[in-house]
Structure 1
Amino acid sequence: MANGGGGGGGGDGGGSSLRMSSNIHANHLSLDASSSSSSSSSSSSSSSSSPSVHEPKMDALIIPVTMEVPCDSRGQRMWWAFLASSMVTFFGGLFIILLWRTLKYLWTVCCHCGGKTKETQKINNGSSQADGTLKPVDEKEEAVAAEVGWMTSVKDWAGVMISAQTLTGRVLVVLVFALSIGALVIYFIDSSNPIESCQNFYKDFTLQIDMAFNVFFLLYFGLRFIAANDKLWFWLEVNSVVDFFTVPPVFVSVYLNRSWLGLRFLRALRLIQFSEILQFLNILKTSNSIKLVNLLSIFISTWLTAAGFIHLVENSGDPWENFQNNQALTYWECVYLLMVTMSTVGYGDVYAKTTLGRLFMVFFILGGLAMFASYVPEIIELIGNRKKYGGSYSAVSGRKHIVVCGHITLESVSNFLKDFLHKDRDDVNVEIVFLHNISPNLELEALFKRHFTQVEFYQGSVLNPHDLARVKIESADACLILANKYCADPDAEDASNIMRVISIKNYHPKIRIITQMLQYHNKAHLLNIPSWNWKEGDDAICLAELKLGFIAQSCLAQGLSTMLANLFSMRSFIKIEEDTWQKYYLEGVSNEMYTEYLSSAFVGLSFPTVCELCFVKLKLLMIAIEYKSANRESRILINPGNHLKIQEGTLGFFIASDAKEVKRAFFYCKACHDDITDPKRIKKCGCKRLIYFEDEQPSTLSPKKKQRNGGMRNSPNSSPKLMRHDPLLIPGNDQIDNMDSNVKKYDSTGMFHWCAPKEIEKVILTRSEAAMTVLSGHVVVCIFGDVSSALIGLRNLVMPLRASNFHYHELKHIVFVGSIEYLKREWETLHNFPKVSILPGTPLSRADLRAVNINLCDMCVILSANQNNIDDTSLQDKECILASLNIKSMQFDDSIGVLQANSQGFTPPGMDRSSPDNSPVHGMLHQPSITTGVNIPIITELVNDTNVQFLDQDDDDDPDTELYLTQPFACGTAFAVSVLDSLMSATYFNDNILTLIRTLVTGGATPELEALIAEENALRGGYSTPQTLANRDRCRVAQLALLDGPFADLGDGGCYGDLFCKALKTYNMLCFGIYRLRDAHLSTPSQCTKRYVITNPPYEFELVPTDLIFCLMQFDHNAGQSRASLSHSSHSSQSSSKKSSSIHSIPSTANRPNRPKSRESRDKQKKEMVYR
Structure 2
Amino acid sequence: MANGGGGGGGGGSGLRMSSNIHANHLSLDASSSSSSSSSSSSSSSSSVHEPKMNALIIPVTMEVPCDSRGQRMWWAFLASSMVTFFGGLFIILLWRTLKYLWTVCCHCGGKAKEAQKINNGSSQADGTLKPADEKEEVVAAEVGWMTSVKDWAGVMISAQTLTGRVLVVLVFALSIGALVIYFIDSSNPIESCQNFYKDFTLQIDMAFNVFFLLYFGLRFIAANDKLWFWLEVNSVVDFFTVPPVFVSVYLNRSWLGLRFLRALRLIQFSEILQFLNILKTSNSIKLVNLLSIFISTWLTAAGFIHLVENSGDPWENFQNHQALTYWECVYLLMVTMSTVGYGDVYAKTTLGRLFMVFFILGGLAMFARYVPEIAALILNRNKFGGTFNKHGGRKHIVVCGHITLESVSNFLKDFLHKDRDDVNVEIVFLHNISPNLELEALFKRHFTQVEFYQGSVLNPHDLARVKIESADACLILANKYCADPDAEDASNIMRVISIKNYHPKIRIITQMLQYHNKAHLLNIPSWNWKEGDDAICLAELKLGFIAQSCLAQGLSTMLANLFSMRSFIKIEEDTWQKYYLEGVSNEMYTEYLSSAFVGLSFPTVCELCFVKLKLLMIAIEYKSANRESRSRKRILINPGNHLKIQEGTLGFFIASDAKEVKRAFFYCKACHDDITDPKRIKKCGCKRLEDEQPSTLSPKKKQRNGGMRNSPGSSPKLMRHDPLLIPGNDQIDNMDSNVKKYDSTGMFHWCAPKEIEKVILTRSEAAMTVLSGHVVVCIFGDVSSALIGLRNLVMPLRASNFHYHELKHIVFVGSIEYLKREWETLHNFPKVSILPGTPLSRADLRAVNINLCDMCVILSANQNNIDDTSLQDKECILASLNIKSMQFDDSIGVLQANSQGFTPPGMDRTSPDNSPVHGMLRQPSITTGVNIPIITELVNDTNVQFLDQDDDDDPDTELYLTQPFACGTAFAVSVLDSLMSATYFNDNILTLIRTLVTGGATPELEALIAEENALRGGYSTPQTLANRDRCRVAQLALLDGPFADLGDGGCYGDLFCKALKTYNMLCFGIYRLRDAHLSTPSQCTKRYVITNPPYEFELVPTDLIFCLMQFDHNAGQSRASLSHSSHSSQSSSKKSSSVHSIPSTANRPNRPKSRESRDKQNATRMNRMGQAEKKWFTDEPDNAYPRNIQIKPMSTHMANQINQYKSTSSLIPPIREVEDEC
> 1:986 Cα shift?
1.3
Q: 1:447 to 1:752 in 2, by over 3 A?
A: same
Q: What is the CA distance between 1:839 and its match in structure 2?
A: 3.1
| Structure 2 residue corresponding to 1:17, chosen from 14, 19, 22 | 14
Q: If the length of structure 2 is used for normalisation, what is the TM-score? A: 0.81
Which sections of structure 1, spanning at least 5 residues, go unmatched?
none
**Residues 99 and 794 of structure 1: CA distance in aligned 2, closer, same or farther (over 3 Å):** farther
Cα–Cα, structure 1 residues 1002 and 1137, in superposed 2: closer, same or farther, change >3 Å? Answer: farther
Deviation at 1:192, TM superposition (A): 3.0
| Structure 1 residue 761 displacement after superposition | 3.7
TM-superposed deviation, 1:725: 5.2
- CA-CA distance at 1:797 after TM superposition: 1.5
SS of the equivalent of 1:585 reads: helix
Q: 1:138 to 1:811 in 2, by over 3 A?
A: farther
Change (3 A) 1:1086 1:715: closer
Distance change in 2, residues 1:28/1:563 (3 Å)? closer
Secondary structure of 1:797's counterpart equals helix
Q: How many angstroms does 1:822 deviate by?
A: 2.9
Q: Over residues 1065-1107 of structure 1, what are the superposed CA-to-partner deviations in whole Å (9 max), with x where a residue is unaligned? A: 1211111111122222233333322221111122222222322
Larger mean CA deviation between 463-472 and 185-194 belongs to: 463-472
For the 8 Å contact 1:729–1:1115, the answer to whether it is kept is no
- String of CA shifts for 1:477-499, please: whole Å, max 9, x gaps: 33322222222332333333333
What is the Cα deviation at residue 951 of structure 1?
0.9
SS at match of 1:570: coil
Distance in 2, Cα, partners of 1:470 & 1:749: 45
Per-residue CA distance 1:80-127 (angstroms, 9 max, x = gap): 343344344444555666677778889999999999999999999999
CA distance in 2, matches of 1:1085, 1:3: 129
- The DSSP-based 3-state class of the residue aligned with 1:252 is helix
**Measured at CA, do residues 123 and 941 of structure 1 come closer, stay the same or move farther in structure 2, by a change above 3 Å?**
farther
Q: Which runs of 5+ in 2 are unaligned?
A: 1160-1215
**1:270 Cα deviation (Å)?**
0.7
Q: Is the 8 A contact 1:402 1:477 kept in 2?
A: yes
**Aligned partners of 1:1037, 1:217: CA distance in 2, in Å?**
87
For residue 669 of structure 1, report the CA deviation from its aligned partner. Answer: 2.8
Q: 1:103 to 1:1150 in 2, by over 3 A?
A: closer
Instruction: Assess if the C-alpha contact under 8 Å between 2:267 and 2:293 holds in 1.
Output: yes
- The CA deviation at 1:143 is 6.1
Distance 1:684 1:76, change over 3 A: closer
Moved more, 741-750 or 225-234: 225-234
CA distance in 2, matches of 1:1096, 1:1142: 42
Change (3 A) 1:27 1:627: closer
- Residue 28 of structure 1: which of 25, 28, 37 is its match? 25
- Give 1:1025 deviation, angstroms: 1.3
Q: Is the 8 A contact 1:406 1:481 kept in 2?
A: yes
* Bigger Cα displacement from structure 2, 956-965 vs 714-723: 714-723
Q: State the shift of 1:942 in Å.
A: 0.8
How many Å separate the matches in 2 of 1:979 and 1:1140? 51
CA shift digits 1:100-158 (9 cap, x unpaired): 77788899999999999999999999999999999999666666666665555544443
Larger mean Cα displacement after TM superposition, 711-720 or 471-480? 711-720
Distance 1:537 1:138 in 2: 78
Q: 1:536 to 1:20 in 2, by over 3 A?
A: farther
Displacement of 1:217 after TM fit? 1.9
Change (3 A) 1:886 1:30: closer
| Structure 1 range deviating more: 837-846 or 600-609 | 837-846
Shift of residue 905 of structure 1? 24
* 8 Å contact from structure 1 (residues 921, 1046) kept in 2: no
- The corresponding residue for 1:46 is 43
Q: Which residue of 1 aligns with 2:3?
A: 3
Range 234-243 or range 733-742, more displaced: 733-742
Following TM superposition, by how much is the alpha carbon of 1:961 offset from its aligned partner in structure 2, in angstroms? 0.7
| C-alpha separation in 2, matches of 1:560 and 1:981 | 18
For 2:74 and 2:578, how far apart are their aligned partners in 1?
Answer: 100
Q: 1:1170 to 1:87 in 2, by over 3 A?
A: farther
Distance (Å, rounded) in 2 between the aligned partners of 1:835 and 1:1128? 30
| 1:86–1:249 CA contact under 8 A, matched in 2 | yes
Does the Cα contact within 8 Å between 2:595 and 2:647 map onto a contact in 1?
yes
1:530 and 1:538 map into 2 onto residues whose CA distance is 12
Q: Which stretch of structure 1 is more off in the superposition, 781-790 or 386-395?
A: 386-395
Distance 1:924 1:830, change over 3 A: closer
Alpha-carbon distance, 1:948 to partner: 0.4
Alpha-carbon distance change, 574 to 1142 in structure 1, aligned in 2, over 3 angstroms: farther
CA distance in 2, matches of 1:513, 1:902: 58
Q: How many residues end up aligned between the 2 structures?
A: 1161
Deviations 1:1106-1155 (A, max 9, x none): 22211111112333899999999999999999999999999999999999
Larger mean Cα displacement after TM superposition, 524-533 or 338-347: 338-347
Judge conservation of contact 1:4–1:324 (CA < 8 Å) in 2: no
Residues 321, 349 of structure 2: 8 Å contact kept: yes
Deviates more, 1:1068-1077 or 1:41-50: 41-50
Aligned partners of 1:909 and 1:845: how far apart in 2?
A: 26
Q: Secondary structure at the match of 2:26?
A: coil
CA contact (8 A) 1:314 1:326 kept: yes
Using the TM superposition, name which of 348-357 and 336-345 deviates more.
336-345
Residues 489-542 of structure 1: CA deviation (Å, up to 9, x unaligned): 323333333333333333433332222222222222322333322222222211
Normalising by structure 1, report the TM-score: 0.84
Deviations 1:833-878 (A, max 9, x none): 2333333333223333333333332222222222222222111111
C-alpha separation between the residues in 2 aligned to 1:250 and 1:1138?
Answer: 125
**Whole-angstrom CA distance in 2 between matches of 1:900 and 1:892:** 14
Greater mean deviation of Cα atoms: 939-948 or 725-734: 725-734
Q: For residue 642 of structure 2, what is the aligned residue in structure 1?
A: 643
The answer to whether the 8 Å contact 1:200/1:258 transfers is yes
**1:1054 touches 1:1103 (CA, 8 Å); kept in 2?**
yes
Specify whether residues 655 and 145 from structure 1 end up closer, same or farther in structure 2 by C-alpha distance, changes over 3 A only: same
Q: Please say if residues 920 and 1104 of structure 2, whose CA atoms lie closer than 8 Å, have aligned partners that are also in contact.
A: no
1:684 aligns with 2:733: no
Q: For the structure 1 residues 917 and 715, does the alpha-carbon distance in structure 2 shift closer, same or farther, using more than 3 Å as the test?
A: closer
1:795-851: per-residue Cα shift (whole Å, max 9, x none)?
222221221212222222223233333333333322332333333333223333333
Paired with 2:214 and 2:900, the residues of 1 have a C-alpha distance of 98
User: Residues 31-50 of structure 1: CA distance to partner in whole angstroms, max 9, x if unpaired?
Assistant: 99999999999999999999
Assess if the C-alpha contact under 8 Å between 1:26 and 1:49 holds in 2: no
Mapped to 1, the partners of 2:547 and 2:557 lie a distance apart of: 12
User: Within 2, Cα distance between the matches of 1:1162 and 1:986?
Assistant: 53
Deviations 1:874-924 (A, max 9, x none): 111112112222222233332334599999999999999999999998769
Residues 966-991 of structure 1: CA deviation (Å, up to 9, x unaligned): 11101111111111111112112221
Q: Indicate the larger mover: 60-69 or 819-828.
A: 60-69
Deviation at residue 410 of structure 1 after TM alignment: 2.1
- Give the Cα–Cα distance (whole angstroms) in 2 for the partners of residues 601 and 540 of structure 1: 36
**1:1049, CA displacement in angstroms?**
2.7
Q: Give the drift of 1:166.
A: 1.1
Stretch deviating more after TM superposition (546-555 or 1081-1090) = 1081-1090
CA distance in 2, matches of 1:487, 1:35: 88
Show CA shifts across 1:562-582 (max 9, x none). 010011111122222332222
Of 562-571 and 61-70, more deviation after overlay is shown by: 61-70
Q: Is the 8 A contact 1:742 1:1023 kept in 2?
A: yes
Residue 27 to residue 748, structure 1, CA distance change in 2 (3 Å): closer
Q: What is the CA deviation profile of residues 139-197 of structure 1, one whole-angstrom value per residue up to 9, with x for unaligned ones? A: 66666666665555544443333231111111111111111112212222332333234
Displacement of 1:611 after TM fit? Answer: 1.1
Cα offsets for 1:903-952 (capped at 9, x unmatched): 99999999999999999987695755433322222211111100000111
Instruction: Report if the CA contact (8 A) 2:917-2:1122 is conserved.
Output: no
For residues 737 and 1061 of structure 1, do their structure 2 counterparts lie closer, same or farther at Cα, with a shift above 3 Å needed? closer
SS at match of 2:68: coil
Structure-2 change in CA distance of 1:907 and 1:762 (3 Å): closer
Q: Verify the 8 A CA contact 1:809 1:1126 in the aligned structure 2.
A: no
**Larger mean Cα displacement after TM superposition, 1134-1143 or 847-856:** 1134-1143
| Cα separation, partners in 2 of 1:1160 and 1:151, compared to 1, 3 Å | farther
CA shift digits 1:272-312 (9 cap, x unpaired): 22232223223344555444433433332222111111111
C-alpha change, 1:407 and 1:785, in structure 2 (3 Å) is: same
In structure 2, what is the Cα distance between the partners aligned to 1:839 and 1:695?
62
**Superposition deviation, residue 711 in structure 1:** 5.4
Of all paired residues, the percent bearing the same amino acid is 98
